[in-house]
Amino acid sequence: MSVDLATVKRVARLARIAVSEDEANRMVGELNGILGFVEQLSEVNVDSVEAMTSVTPMAMKKRTDEVTDGSKAADIVANAPVTDHNFFLVPKVVE
């Protein structure tokens, strides 16, 4: 994939960046260089490489997934002006 002058101007317009003609011409070469490097990366065989979340190995701290009601329903609705069975009551706004 390569970038031409029209693409650079279109991207600059979409990003709302003011780019002069000289800057746009310079960016064509720079963006093509970046895209060439990305294409080189796609040629690397990474089939045997394990996915990483960090550069240092670490185990994620996990807790058991327990479903509870939170035991705080009364505290949550305590400051509400009107409630009913731990639910907020709001005025009807749509007819």
Domain segments of the chain: what residues? 5-41
> Higher pLDDT residue, 53 or 27?
27
Interhelix angle 5-14/21-41, nearest 10 degrees? 100
HSE (CB half, 13 Å, CA atoms) of 48? 0
* pLDDT at 11 > cutoff 90: yes
> Higher pLDDT residue, 60 or 10?
10
Q: Are 89 and 82 in contact (CB under 8 A)?
A: yes
Domain boundaries 5-41, CATH class: mainly alpha
Tell me what pLDDT residue 20 has.
Answer: 94
Tell me what pLDDT residue 55 has.
Answer: 83
What average pLDDT does the segment 1-16 reach? Answer: 92
Confidence of residue 6 (pLDDT cuts 50, 70, 90): very high
For residue 88, how far is the Cα from the chain centroid?
A: 33
Output DSSP code: residue 70: T
